[in-house]
Structure 1
């Protein structure tokens, strides 16, 4: 796979202004490259949030929920089985309770990934009513836009449905009583980058305003929905939605609660266990949300049941550690399964003739349905090709998950295949860079050929060379703990990526780690030496090479040292 570095464009005038406002030269350039023109744009106070009045139909949903509260009606929350869905379900459940719903009037339900699939299907509606009885309202979170049949089934049973979602609508909208979606047909001008958990948080803010207007409580005595911001932050980071200013505020405020010890007992326990008591919660970062907590919550939905994940998020001090330990065990199982599947997937690449293919479609009879997305992601990283990985279902179908590369809209490709070969794809959905689908059990080879054809028609060969966007070079004296602290004070994420620098280095020494799985090195620039590590890279580096890297602090035996986390080597 070819890799080339492209230095991010930035406005020198904006960088100069930011530097005059107190930012260091490197960070000022980084922020200017992300279209920040002044220090005020980096303010993460709650006052900077876009108001809920900007979210279409949030007030309508709030009015329906307020009516339900006054009438003593019941609400069942139906979520998704990923981290965004779990946090959204928890926020909805806790938020409704905070705003006055009695415990027996609020319930939550998460479909089983393997037997029920995604979203509010008729099967889910029937399972929900069998478990809890018929609710007056079903409130979907992080799903529902594609639930045409499920909403119809709920309507048939006399259940009103409020859909809160952020996914793109399909050809037909469900006949719900209310749809709140910043990416829906009426979403122009809305905060469109909200995750599912962000959408329901906004609906709760609107509900609080509606109840306040009805005299339920005075402004100074209203419930504090800020208690839920740690969960909003986790779901927002986990779902990899663009971190525009609105989302950066939500994440920063959630981290603030966690760092001050006011966050969820379950999240705190999970963080403590994952770090083996080596790091206090006051040190939690955005990266910890995305790479430590989110995978452990997601593991429950992938290979077990998301109920344990939500129970952990809802836990009090008494049972938080026990539930976190169960999630830790599930995550260990997930890692072992994923490692085995990835090895099988990478082994299969030797027969795939990658250089002459635009896409890859992989399958194995022993693969786990809940982990094929992780396999597709890892193979996509290795090959820089769109990848779909399939696993068999119990009823003889193949369930797949795909990951794409910039420039190729994966959901559009699936739509084209569905048009060209009716009946081959039984169900699909997703976004530009990630999608899920189910196909006939005997349709793998036909799908592989169809996917290659559609991808070839919609991608140019130069897109198969991976472009790594970097933020320029650092002078040796700028590679410092001070710059690390400055960078760590900012909320980074999707579409507001953490700084990635690139320098020409001499390789002083390099040593393979863990049987050659990783590479540890000492690198030199302008006569100064730095420790570096290159994870998941086994090929020795040439004597002089341009490296893309992030700054990191390595802690070992109580000693802190600066090291470069190598992300890529230019080829």
Structure 2
């Protein structure tokens, strides 16, 4: 069951925003999202929280500056998703620019997820040691790597952890840890993505090197704002909350993309996706560019994606982007088959009666189970874990949650109730991963469902669509689409979703899975489409929709993108 819930629009902030010169529709939308004054929408870089407020960022800067001055070998250990890839690229580009030709060697290592799993494990440290690094720098991982850091210490390799995931009770014994979510850190924004943390560390490093008089005729001080397109991509793709600080990072990154100041790899990825970076928006990053970069980590090796982001050769960037596009198409085919199998598994149970779902199939691909879990979660509005077979009798799971159940906390509680169940687990509120023995899957499935049943209220189990209410007929236009696309939307600051009742004048099915409608309300008639529909519409429907542009034979027209509808 799905419930429509129009957002409350406090009249005074809406009026104030209009009086401060904001477009009336934007004033209404922003007031409903807690914005009370236009200054909160000031996305100038001067409004960023200073790096000095991020605990240990200055210490990390000293550690890195010392390494650069000493001509040390610095090895970045990356994660295999879009956030990790962009964080690695930010680190490689910034460190190489600041080191110049002074002798320091900056390289990276990204573990193959299927061989080594996630994080700075002892095995990864041994692999890294083959390159004889003096300093390991993790990006988007490491906060839980107690054993890996211990192994690095044994080998005499210093470690700098940069991460944003929630820590466990014990922290690794690293030389330095930068994580806004570590105990004692009072950084006002707890929602930095891994790439955001690394960007902040690079800002602190530049400030440290500046005080040392490092920059001059031989080594120019880099403009780190040129990396904000990468920061924006990683921040949006990792679905972290877009608080005010993150909106500045994303807004500045989009601004640079639109003006043509764009990373060659991102330029190539836009081209492969058939999108124009001059019109780049948050949805492009989250649904077009991010998935193509992620495809490398899901099906192959994320070093392919990182190479796309660190090369300055447009031809090489385009070649890699085309490979990533092909991998993304392959990923979609694999995902479609897995969804069919998952639905067959669900035929044996009633998902509406279960508090949570855990699924396993020996044929599933490890790199796609996170997307599968997300699709099943969206379909049934339940926390979902999907598992695929690993090695040595293990299965590896990826989970997605709904509001009301903090996924990592649920796993932590399950680990206490079922000692020895987990080989490893980690994550955050809405997404997490776990590794267990295949023989223990029933124990996980049943225990996970019991904990979800305890923690989820009845109201949480009903899907609620927070909408922005009806959209006046005069706003159903291409101009409105452009107006909304220019703004920054994302997790915690959701893009506008409107709802209204319409008459269905015509309907047809495209490619056996997409529903094309012609809708009417009073004198207004407009096209609408729902992808992967499951319910046939009646004569009158209530629709939750986003406003978009449909282009056909060179002609553009407004169109409703239907997220959900109900017959009335």
- Using structure 2 for the length normalisation, give the TM-score: 0.97
Asked if structure 1 preserves the Cα contact closer than 8 Å seen for 2:189 and 2:243, the reply is no
Pairs within 5 Å for 1:361-440: 361-440=358-437
Aligned residue in 2 for 1:191: 189
Q: Which residue of the partner structure matches residue 115 of structure 2?
A: 115
| Structure 1 match to 2:302 | 306
Q: Is the 8 A contact 1:143 1:163 kept in 2?
A: yes
Q: How does 1:495-510 map to 2 (within 5 A)?
A: 495-510=492-507
In the alignment, what sits opposite 1:485?
482
Deviations 1:167-195 (A, max 9, x none): 11012100001110111112223322110
Give the whole-Å Cα distance in 2 for the aligned partners of 1:240 and 1:469. Answer: 18
Instruction: State the shift of 1:526 in Å.
Output: 2.4
Q: Measure, in 2, the Cα distance between the counterparts of 1:341 and 1:284.
A: 31
Q: Output one character per residue of 1:467-502: Cα deviation in whole Å (capped at 9) or x when no partner.
A: 100112112122222222221121111111111111
Distance 2:517 2:399 in 1: 34
Measure the CA separation in 1 of the matches of 2:368 and 2:76. Answer: 26
Check if 1:156 corresponds to 2:161. no
Cα drift, residue 527 of structure 1:
2.5
8 Å contact 1:510–1:540 — kept in the other structure?
no
Deviation at 1:22, TM superposition (A): 2.9
- Partner of residue 545, structure 1: 541
Q: Is the 8 A contact 1:518 1:538 kept in 2?
A: no
Q: What is the aligned partner in structure 2 of residue 462 from structure 1?
A: 459
Secondary structure, counterpart of 1:548 in structure 2? strand
Kept after mapping to 2: 8 A contact 1:69/1:101:
no
1-structure distance, mates of 2:352, 2:71? 63
Counterparts of 2:167 and 2:399 in 1: how far apart (Å)? 19
| Runs of 5+ consecutive residues of structure 2 not aligned to the other structure | none
Contact 1:205 1:225 in 2 (8 A): yes
CA distance in 2, matches of 1:385, 1:378: 11
Residues 547 and 559 of structure 2 are in contact (CA less than 8 Å); yes or no, is this contact kept in structure 1? yes
How many pairs are equivalent?
564
DSSP 3-state at the match of 2:165: coil
* TM-score, length of structure 1 as denominator length: 0.96
Aligned 1:12-27 pairs, distance under 5 A: 12-27=11-26
Alignment of 1:529 with 2:525, yes or no, is yes
Say which is worse superposed, 343-352 or 214-223, in terms of deviation: 214-223
The DSSP-based 3-state class of the residue aligned with 1:388 is strand
* CA drift at 1:416: 1.5
Contact conserved, 1:58 with 1:202, CA < 8 A, in 2?
yes
SS in 2 for 1:91: helix
Partner of 2:113, secondary structure, is: coil
Q: CA deviation at 1:411?
A: 1.2
Contact 2:162 2:177 in 1 (8 A): yes
Contact 2:497 2:546 in 1 (8 A): yes
Does residue 336 (structure 1) correspond to residue 345 (structure 2)? The answer is no
**Structure 1: stretches of 5+ with no match in the other structure:** none
Q: Deviations over 1:488-527 (max 9, x none)?
A: 1211111111111111111122212211x11111111222
Deviation at 1:71, TM superposition (A): 1.4
CA contact (8 A) 2:61 2:201 kept: yes
Moved more, 94-103 or 492-501: 94-103
Map Cα deviations across residues 28-52 of structure 1 (whole Å, 9 max, x no partner): 1110011112222212221111110
SS in 1 for 2:115: coil
Shift of 1:221: 5.6
Deviations 1:439-493 (A, max 9, x none): 1120111211111111111112232110100112112122222222221121111
Aligned counterpart, 1:8: 7
Question: RMSD of aligned C-alpha atoms?
Answer: 1.6
5 Å-filtered alignment, 1:72-111, equals: 72-102=71-101, 105-111=105-111
**Within 2, Cα distance between the matches of 1:221 and 1:322?**
31
